[in-house]
Amino acid sequence: MEIKVTENAQSWFKDEFDVSGDNGIRLFAKYGGSNSSLHPGFSIGVSAAVPHEAVVTDQEEGILFFIEEHDYWYFKEHDWEIDYNPETEEVKYSFTETVQ
């Protein structure tokens, strides 16, 4: 499983979240929302946080993106790309099944 973050998304996260010190960007499963079709009724949430039990990490331009162990069920068996469209001011999460 991989997380790839585009340059547009990296810039947006730097502008919108406190990623100073040990803070990174935590990706987590949240109930409700509609930004992913992988698990109906759930979507992806993001927050600035210090990792505690990160099982997947990706370092992009000085920002740590991570998934904690208790959220892994949502993301597992897929590679993820996070992009940001400045025209629509929206973050987009896309995934493909991990090739075994």
Whichever domain contains 68, its CATH number is 2.60.300.12
Residue range of the domain that includes 22: 1-95
Q: What is the pLDDT of residue 37?
A: 67
Whether 75 is in a domain gets the answer: yes
- In angstroms, the CA 25 to CA 13 distance is 8
Q: HEC profile for 17-48?
A: CCCCCCCEEEEEEEECCCCCCCCCCEEEEEEE
Average pLDDT score over residue span 64-86? 94
Chain segment 42-73, per-residue pLDDT in tens: 889 999 999 999 999 999 888 999 999 999 99
Whether 66 is in a domain gets the answer: yes
Number of domains present in the structure of the chain = 1
Whether 76 is in a domain gets the answer: yes
Q: What is the pLDDT of residue 100?
A: 61
